[in-house]
Amino acid sequence: MATPANDSSLQAIRYRPGSLQLLDQRKLPLQTIYIDIRNSSDGWTAIRDMVVRGAPAIAVAGALSLAVELFNLENFEGTSQDASSLITKKLEYLVSSRPTAVNLSDAATKFNEIISKAAATTSDAKDVFKVFIEAAELMLEDDVTSNKAIGSFGAEFIRFQLKDINKLSILTHCNTGSLATAGYGTALGVIRSLQTDGVLEHAYCTETRPYNQGSRLTAFELVHEKIPATLITDSAAAALMKAGRVNGIIVGADRVASNGDTANKIGTYNLAVCAKHHDIPFYVAAPLTSVDLSLQSGDEIVIEERSPLELLNAHGGRGEQIAASGISVWNPAFDVTPASLISGIFTEKGVITKKTGSESFDIKGFVQRAQGN
């Protein structure tokens, strides 16, 4: 099993059994450098330090970092139960790398079920490692498939909702493309699908301060994909809407609560409030692995706070000092957009909508129907 065919798109994750390389996204768009990841410790550091970022890519990269560690592990002396405990412990460690995106912890729960079943049916530790490696590899393939489905469900829905508009201009925030996933992307995947369908007039991307995922990564992907696109500052978004230059906004998600409240990159909430004011539909595009049914609402989502240096220094903290010495800083990496401001949630199983008159989504009901229960 190797990295799945990915059209001509950029690859954040290069994998073949026993070997994992991550594109160092801190260096984009000026340098394309891949870093070797040999084990879960390398994986944890790569996630924490933003070599790889974006909720689905974090989950896939984290799982594969453990897969290569286990593939190359020599002389493991324990039983199948020991192998299962080792994997559980390493997954717990990986999940601790960043708190807000749910995808890696969702994957860890599923992996734990799979390996504990495997450990109960064999005494050979190697069999348990093999089961885990295969499940991690499957995740890499499934992510691309599910993104393509999100893209086509989302594009179809928008085209229907905005059928009076011939060609659509869409605003997006942060980076949700090939670089944030195993390939194709979520919100950016919907924009790609609209472009393929011939109905995209123009894409707008925000800079996404302070880490500039928009100007460094999304702008890079849009140019790479030859999608007609314009970069704006985060603070130009309201003026863009007022000028009537966007017909819809599509963003990704790091964690979606049962009622549809959605955590995503800081600034997403601002866009949703402005969209409401200007009567512009605001959509979330995310795989069901971004849904956290254990949470009733977004109030329970833990928001990561990142280093003050991202604001105090240029280039998201990597450049020279630009802010006054002595100023204090609040730097939440994400915010929560209430379900009431969201027009629809695009998933790989279809579009989740609100009942007429309701302020929230019934995500549990949607998931149950999608699973045929």
What is the rounded CA–CA span in Å between residue 90 and residue 341? 38
The three-state secondary structure class of 26 is coil
254 is catalytic: yes
Kindly tell me which of 84 and 176 has the beta carbon lying closer to ligand MRU. 176
Kindly tell me which of 216 and 354 has the beta carbon lying closer to ligand MRU. 216
The three-state secondary structure class of 351 is strand
Helix pair angle (103-121, 125-161), 10° resolution: 140
Kindly tell me which of 181 and 193 has the beta carbon lying closer to ligand MRU. 181
Q: Which residues ranging from 130 to 189 are in contact with ligand MRU (CB under 6 A)?
A: 174, 176, 180-181, 186
Q: Assess 264 for contact with ligand MRU (CB under 6 A).
A: yes
CB 104 within 8 A of CB 95: yes
- Binding string, residues 76-115; x marks residues near ligand MRU by CB under 6 A: -------------------------x--------------
Choose, by CB under 6 A, the member of 254, 261, 292, 310 that binds ligand MRU.
Answer: 254
Q: Assess 333 for contact with ligand MRU (CB under 6 A).
A: yes
The three-state secondary structure class of 239 is helix
Q: Which is nearest to 61 in space by CA: 76, 44, 78, 77?
A: 44
Q: Assess 344 for contact with ligand MRU (CB under 6 A).
A: no
Q: Assess 54 for contact with ligand MRU (CB under 6 A).
A: yes
Tokens 């109905």, residue? 199
Nearest residue to ligand MRU, using CB? 252
**Cα distances (Å, whole numbers) of residue 36 to 31, 155, 178, 314, 342:** 16, 36, 19, 27, 39
Q: Assess 53 for contact with ligand MRU (CB under 6 A).
A: yes
Kindly tell me which of 7 and 359 has the beta carbon lying closer to ligand MRU. 7
CB 38 within 8 A of CB 175: no
Q: Using CB under 6 A, count the residues that bind ligand MRU.
A: 17
Q: Assess 298 for contact with ligand MRU (CB under 6 A).
A: no
CA 103, 184, 53: angle at the middle one, nearest 5? 40
**Interacting residue ranges for ligand MRU, rule: CB under 6 A:** 53-56, 101, 174, 176, 180-181, 186, 213, 252-254, 264-265, 333
Positions annotated as catalytic residues are 254
